[in-house]
């Protein structure tokens, strides 16, 4: 199976991403195959998102719109 790119529009709740990752993990999906691109607004703390991705060793970009 090839890698999967997950593109997420503005999310205000970083726990959503963590739940997505844990769901994938719970279904035996190899997390190293996940890659995320999160599009946020300026007021969103993008460092919270980056911490989650780092914790799970997932490649990700967090961009402000």
Cut 0.75: pTM above it: yes
Tell me the two tokens of residue 22. Answer: 């844990």
- pLDDT at 5 (0 to 100): 78
Tell me the two tokens of residue 48. Answer: 């919270």
Model confidence band, residue 24 (pLDDT cutoffs 50, 70, 90): very high
| DSSP line for 8-50 | E---S-THHHHHHHHHHHHTT--GGGEEEEEEE-TTS-HHHHH
Q: Which of 28, 34, 25, 24 is nearest to 2 (CA)?
A: 34
For residue 10, pLDDT over 70 is answered with: no
Q: Which of 6, 39, 49, 11 is nearest to 24 (CA)?
A: 6
For residue 30, pLDDT over 70 is answered with: yes
């Amino acid at each position: 199976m090839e890698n999967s790119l997950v593109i997420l529009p503005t999310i205000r709740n970083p726990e959503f991403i963590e739940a997505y990752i844990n769901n994938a993990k719970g279904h035996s999906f190899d997390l190293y195959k996940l890659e995320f691109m999160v599009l946020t607004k300026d007021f969103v703390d993008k460092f919270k998102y980056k911490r989650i991705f780092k914790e799970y060793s997932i490649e990700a970009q967090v961009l402000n719109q």
